[in-house]
Amino acid sequence: MDGLTLTAPGLTSAQVARAKANHVPRRSSRSLSAILRANVFTLFNLVIGVLWALILIFGEWQDGAFGLVIVANALIGIVQELRAKRTLDKLAVINEAPVRVRRDGAEREVSPRDVVLGDLILLGPGDRLLVDGEVVHSEGLEVDESLLTGEADPVHKKPGEEVLSGSFAVAGSGAFVATRVGTDAYAVRLAEEASRFHLAHSELRAGVANFIKYITWLVIPIGALLIYSQLHNSADLGTAITGAVAGIVTMIPEGLVLTTSLAFAVGVVRLGRRKCLVQELPAIEGLARVDVLCLDKTGTLTTAGMDLDQVLPVQPDGRPIDAALAALAHLDSRPNATAEAIRAGYPATTADGWKAGETVPFSSARKWSGADFGEHGVWVLGAPDVLLQGGDCYDRAAELAATGTRVLVLCRADDLATTGELAGGETPHPASTPTTVLPVALLTFKQRIRPDARETLSYFAKQGVNLKIISGDNTQAVSAIATGLGIPGADRAIDARTLPHDDPDKLGELLDTHTVFGRVTPRQKREFVTALQSRGRTVAMTGDGVNDVLALKDADLGIAMGAGSPATKAVAQVVLLDDKFSTLPHVVGEGRRVLANIERVANLFLTKTFYAIVISLLVGVAGVAFPFAPRHSTLTNALVIGIPAFFLALAPTLERAKPGFVPRVLRFAVPAGVLCALAVLLSFWAAHNGASSLLEDQTAAVITLFLTTWWVLVLIARPLNWWRGAMVAAMAALFCVGLSLPFIREFFALEPGDLTNDLIAVGISVVAAFLISVSVKVAGTLRP
């Protein structure tokens, strides 16, 4: 031990009250002002606001109904995002691991936001460093700075050395004094700089952004052409403005952004009810795309705790096994699950008189710990297949491990000097194992299998998600547990120490053909994730221990268990706060629901955009009257797009998301939109050449517009279960009601008085519907 002892008083209450606190923005949600800006101050809202004002000035107020829809959309978006924000903020508070500090001479736990400049902060394995500081006490303290530097090997920290926020303790214990907190801390400054210049890739977000960008560039010239055409060819300024506004408003997919945000927000709230914290919204998209799920055995398939089962002496000379176990188990002030299980059977009094000098704390890379107890000798405790090089004890340990039992070996050693580096290239403190060891006893532990593990694993198998069991434990033990849970290929487990660490292609092949891997080091877990991703896989990684942090960070989707280490929960995008493995199917299902339904909704909105572009372009070039007024588009858009979109965006689905969001939507929306536009124009011009009035001609066009876009809705809503069938039928019924009731007809300027025109419109709609079905089926976008 060196440096300041842990009896140092730390800050006083008066000093804490005056010191700067660690206030940083939460990662999981945006501010109220950001939510308001995102829903109100948008380019589309600005354009529609100007058009609304033009209608109120030059047209009839009924044609300005589309403006009220925008107001309603903004309000709905704000309310839903605020609901999601409240859910996320509450869950984020639950997820925040308390920080151990020493104040007024006593140890206490405080919220991360209550840490202040100058606090004496205590560290143990798995603790995440939230602020920068200077080490003042170290008992074999090792800190992993890989998330900051990319260097995977832990760094041994001595008093006087700097530690940075964003790193985490992996072994030993210690204390440091906070020197930079809040937005001055290194990790916070790093995150702010990264967020200014980079956002994690999201195909969905990028696709929607591209749609908006290109549509904006199309709206400007086509809108200008339409305005010129209507003003040039109409004697009535009000009619010209109304026609131009009808085309421009219909081109804008104003509800696409809203329903996308709404689907994400509702997904967050639904997952929040299951005590699942989504720390990054793009994670919901990742949930839908996952096709490989990597599971750490301990804490995921098994619960975090374990029970000491047997202590089996292997030497006949009556060595002090009980005292040695008690002394080793009580070395660390922050014991892991194994040490806690030993402590339960061997209290500290069993090791009276045993004082440790030099110590080597346990780490996931080493897989052993030890101490020099002076006259009582050097003792080490760890994995038999790491400490032993063969022999009867080694074989006995292997037999026990093959039953699924966790096995450790207690050994005497000449000293704590070590032999060299570990398999896979890791060099922990400073090497691998003591040079000479004598096995004294084998320890067996009972592991607790999660009761929901088998059912959850079966769900993923049925959904076509490949499972990979990746564990640092004995290979035979991991294989036995996986076999008991019915995981295919569990009998062909691989010892990760035999895997190539310099041939990613070979590693990828082995990962493709095998399911269970034992004795995996933290660095190898990271390599596994990278190798799978290089083969085009979308990888989710679950874990709870500090040895899972690097893999969780690199995975497409990191999922941490609620009982996991603070460092693990900090880097994961999703945290299962109630620690229930059975929540995972709901998590994946929610992601699939969001993505599949946003694609459906995008098909609806962009079909509308493309038919409006085609109609506006042809009307602008031909110099004729626009076939419908803004109030007509408000009615049809509400019935075939607005109202159904809300239902479709929230509907359940089990379909796994596939890449190619933008091309699929375009293959559907472009032909459907073009055919709808041609049908509407044909109906309008056929009616316009007769003796009917302009309102009757526009009504014929509106009938065609509704029927063709309603058929698009039918195709998108497939398969038609009871509620989807009821929804599309209800929309048709509402349109019929609108044509039948005089006051609705008057408000929406509908005049179905010319039976011939209306029947022609219906006939054209039927033909267009058939052609739309054929075109999207040929394009391969029609859902079964």
User: How many other CB atoms are there within 10 angstroms of residue 753's CB atom?
Assistant: 12
**DSSP code per residue over 138-174:** EEEEEEE-HHHH---S-EE--TT-EE-BTBEEEEEEE
Secondary structure E strands in 193-301: 276-278, 292-295
Q: Which residues of 504-531 are buried (b: 16+ CB within 10 A; e: fewer)?
A: eeebbebbeebbbbbbbbbbbbbbbbbb
Q: What angle, rounded to 10 degrees, do the helices at 237-251 and 584-622 form?
A: 150
Are 227 and 251 in contact by the 8 Å Cβ rule? The answer is no
Are 672 and 782 in contact by the 8 Å Cβ rule? The answer is no
User: How many angstroms from the chain centroid is the CA of residue 734?
Assistant: 39
Catalytic residue selected from 63, 291, 296, 554: 296
Residue 415 designated active-site: no
Which residue, 58, 53, 47, is CA-closest to 243? Answer: 58
DSSP state of 108: E
Structure tokens at 701: 């066009």
Cα distance from N-terminal residue to C-terminal residue, the chain: 69
Are 105 and 115 in contact by the 8 Å Cβ rule? The answer is no
Identify the burial level of 439 via C-beta atoms within 10 angstroms of its C-beta, where 0-12 means exposed, 13-18 middle and 19 or more buried. Answer: buried
Which residues have CB under 8 Å from 460's CB, separation 6+? 293, 467, 584, 585, 588
In whole angstroms, what is the distance from residue 7 CA to residue 294 CA? 43
Which residues have CB under 8 Å from 760's CB, separation 6+? 683, 686, 687, 700
Instruction: Say what the alpha-carbon torsion angle 88, 90, 95, 98 is, to the nearest 10 degrees.
Output: 140
Beta pairing, strands 292-295 & 539-543? parallel
Torsional sign, CA 772, 775, 777, 780: negative
3-class DSSP state of 313: strand
Active-site positions read: 296
